[in-house]
């Protein structure tokens, strides 16, 4: 009986390895090919949590943690840049209201939270969560490639550049969290299989 049990265990381990490898291969094989303008097809998603509603913007291309970066002694600040577009009406409302009323006046857009998420397809890789933010500065400028643009070979780009001041900041590691969840699910699955195997041996 013991030799047979050892053989079953060995076969089970080999089968598990083969199944895991095939699942990983299948995932990469079925992964949708993304058409993006960034290295590794990583895209930026900015989610603004206003009192009125939540707004998600996918068209910001430049993100900068600025001087606050990794310094816990400084108040969190960050910058977003992107082509002027139709996808951020609430953010524009926040900018306009902050300019008209000033930073010291409380209003529906005076304080808000922001999540900046870097992702590949639907899989988030890195998350920066800012709390209690306000508009620090807003500029619109034109980007162009000198004579190439004036000659018509490239196009003029009109960009929003927005600086934010915040009071709260947290880092998110979705990949690590997913790894822990997968490990937990795998251990649970193995435990259930072992229980069924022991029951079948009785």
The C-alpha atoms of residue 146 and residue 160 are separated, in whole angstroms, by 20
The string of pLDDT tens digits covering residues 89-109 is 999 999 999 999 998 888 899
- CA 125 – CA 116 distance, rounded (Å): 11
Please state, in angstroms and rounded to a whole number, the distance separating the CA atoms of residues 202 and 200: 6
Tell me the C-alpha distance between 73 and 169, whole Å. 12
pLDDT of residue 2: 44
pLDDT in tens, 31-45: 455 567 788 889 999
45 closest CA partner among 167, 172, 179: 172
pLDDT > 70? residue 18: no
d(CA 163, CA 65): 10
* CA 30 from centroid of its chain's CA atoms: 21
Residue 182: helix, strand or coil by DSSP? helix
Judge whether residue 74 has pLDDT over 80. yes
- pTM (two decimals): 0.73
Residue 26 has pLDDT above 50, yes or no: no
């Amino acid at each position: 009986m013991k030799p047979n049990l050892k053989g079953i265990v060995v076969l089970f381990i080999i089968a598990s390895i083969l199944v895991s490898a095939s699942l990983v291969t299948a995932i990469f094989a079925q992964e949708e090919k993304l058409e993006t303008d960034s290295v590794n097809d990583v895209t930026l998603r900015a989610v603004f949590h206003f009192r009125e509603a939540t707004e998600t913007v996918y068209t910001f291309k430049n993100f900068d943690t600025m001087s606050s970066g990794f310094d816990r002694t400084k108040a969190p600040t960050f910058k977003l840049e992107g082509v002027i577009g139709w996808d951020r009406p609430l953010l524009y409302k926040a900018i306009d209201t902050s300019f008209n009323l000033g930073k010291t006046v409380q209003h529906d857009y005076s304080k808000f939270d922001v999540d900046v998420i870097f992702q590949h397809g639907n899989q988030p890789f890195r998350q920066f969560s800012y709390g209690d933010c306000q508009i620090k500065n807003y500029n619109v400028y034109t980007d162009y490639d000198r004579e190439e643009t004036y000659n018509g070979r490239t196009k003029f780009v009109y960009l929003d550049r927005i600086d934010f001041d915040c009071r709260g900041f947290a880092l998110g590691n979705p990949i690590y969290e997913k790894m822990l969840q997968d490990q937990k699910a795998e251990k649970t699955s193995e435990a259930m299989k072992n229980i069924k195997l022991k029951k079948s041996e009785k």
